[in-house]
Amino acid sequence: MKIKPLTIFALLALTVAGVIYYSDKISSSKQTTVAVQPTTPSPTPLASPNRELKPNEKFIAPAGLYITVPEGMNFRQEVASDSGDIRYLGFYIENESGYQLYGLYQAKSEASQEALEINKKGMDPSTIKDVEIGGYKGVEGLVTGPKNRYLTVIIKNGKFITLSTIPPTLENKAITDQIFSTINFQ
């Protein structure tokens, strides 16, 4: 029995097609699907204190600020961030008799001497004075109007740190000055 060349070619083509089909089916069943997770930027790591904290001392990491909370007062802080990057950090030192020191570190705002002058415009001119806190210069004065308060503004590494005392009494200003004497920066 003689096999015609056309039959041999057809058998060979079917065999090759079968092998390709079978190997394709086997390899596709072994493929694993990898789910792609959307990436979000990792938050900026906060600095750690470079020394041991004293009793009642707090470390405000984004500003690199050490501050001591007087006995009998409470401390709290709030952070506003975009995808982990801090825009603002507010902190409070307060007591039940109504004293409040409110600090605001503006991480995303660029501070300048001109912007410092703008802060002076809301202050009573007779109360404005230059200050230095923890080695950084700024101004302070009594802000008048519906949100009256003692306001201190310093510039640290091109960023504003504002510190407000409410209500603006001489007794509260004395407490604030005592707290300011404890401020150090990393």
CATH of residue 112's domain is 3.40.1000
| 125 has a pLDDT exceeding 90 | yes
Whether 96 is covered by a domain: the verdict is yes
pLDDT of residue 10: 63
Put simply, whether the predicted model's pTM sits higher than 0.85 gets the answer no
Instruction: Report the distance separating Cα 65 and Cα 53, nearest Å.
Output: 12
Whether 113 is covered by a domain: the verdict is yes
Whether 139 is covered by a domain: the verdict is yes
Instruction: Report the distance separating Cα 77 and Cα 88, nearest Å.
Output: 11
pLDDT of residue 37: 47
In which domain, by residue range, is 146 found?
57-185
Whether 87 is covered by a domain: the verdict is yes
To 5 degrees, how large is the angle CA 87–CA 88–CA 91? Answer: 155
Backbone region of residue 144 per phi and psi (left: phi > 0; alpha: psi in -120 to 50; beta: other values)? beta
Buried b / exposed e across 8-47, counting CB within 10 Å, b at 16+?
eeeeeeeeeeeeeeeeeeeeeeeeeeeeeeeeeeeeeeee
Whether 100 is covered by a domain: the verdict is yes
Whether 156 is covered by a domain: the verdict is yes
pLDDT of residue 42: 41
Instruction: Report the distance separating Cα 160 and Cα 165, nearest Å.
Output: 16
Whether 161 is covered by a domain: the verdict is yes
The pLDDT tens digits for 100-123 are 999 999 888 888 888 888 889 889
Identify the DSSP state of 126: G
The total number of structural domains that make up the chain: 1
Task: Categorize the per-residue pLDDT at 23 as very low, low, confident or very high, splitting at 50, 70 and 90.
Answer: low
pLDDT of residue 40: 45
Whether 46 is covered by a domain: the verdict is no
| 49 has a pLDDT exceeding 70 | yes
